[in-house]
């Protein structure tokens, strides 16, 4: 299982709304993530909007993203979430992941 850490930046003015939407993620989106092999998926957010995400996958980040990109529900979710993120090129949030290098894992 590959552990993936990534970061994004949520617009500070929209942090509260972003958090509210994640209290009830669409059931179809949750099912798609599970079917695509995303496990132990978590998001952590600083007060300034820096978002750290983590998940485990049997695939690479790119392969895991490609599986999700092939679903209609992911397309709708990414369009819905796009206004919440800082983006220089209007990319979808799932296309802006800055993958972080793992430097330590206790196990």
Domain limits, the chain = 2-100
Cα 44 to Cα 59: distance, rounded to the nearest angstrom: 22
* CATH architecture of the domain with residue range 2-100: 2-Layer Sandwich (3.30)
Q: pLDDT at position 104, please?
A: 96
Q: Which parts of the chain sit beneath pLDDT 50?
A: none
Catalytic-role residue among 21, 22, 39, 105: 22
Cα 101 to Cα 84: distance, rounded to the nearest angstrom: 25
State yes or no: is 22 an active-site residue: yes
Show the tokens assigned to 97.
Answer: 């992941």
Percent helix, strand, coil in the chain, to 5, is 45, 25, 30
Cα 37 to Cα 89: distance, rounded to the nearest angstrom: 28
| pTM attached to this predicted model | 0.90
Tens of pLDDT, residues 40-55: 999 999 999 999 999 9
> In this structure, are residues 44 and 5 in contact, taking their beta carbons and an 8 Å threshold?
no
Cα 93 to Cα 86: distance, rounded to the nearest angstrom: 9
Q: pLDDT at position 87, please?
A: 84
């Amino acid at each position: 299982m590959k552990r993936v850490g990534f970061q994004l930046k949520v617009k500070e003015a929209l942090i509260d709304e972003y958090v509210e939407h994640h209290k009830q993620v669409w059931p179809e989106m949750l099912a798609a993530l599970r079917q695509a092999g995303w496990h132990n998926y978590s998001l952590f957010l600083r007060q300034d909007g820096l978002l750290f995400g983590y998940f485990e996958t049997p695939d690479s980040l790119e392969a895991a993203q490609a599986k999700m990109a092939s679903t209609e529900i992911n397309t709708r979710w990414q369009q819905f979430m796009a206004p919440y993120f800082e983006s220089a090129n209007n990319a979808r949030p799932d296309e802006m992941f800055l993958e972080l290098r793992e430097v330590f894992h206790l196990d």
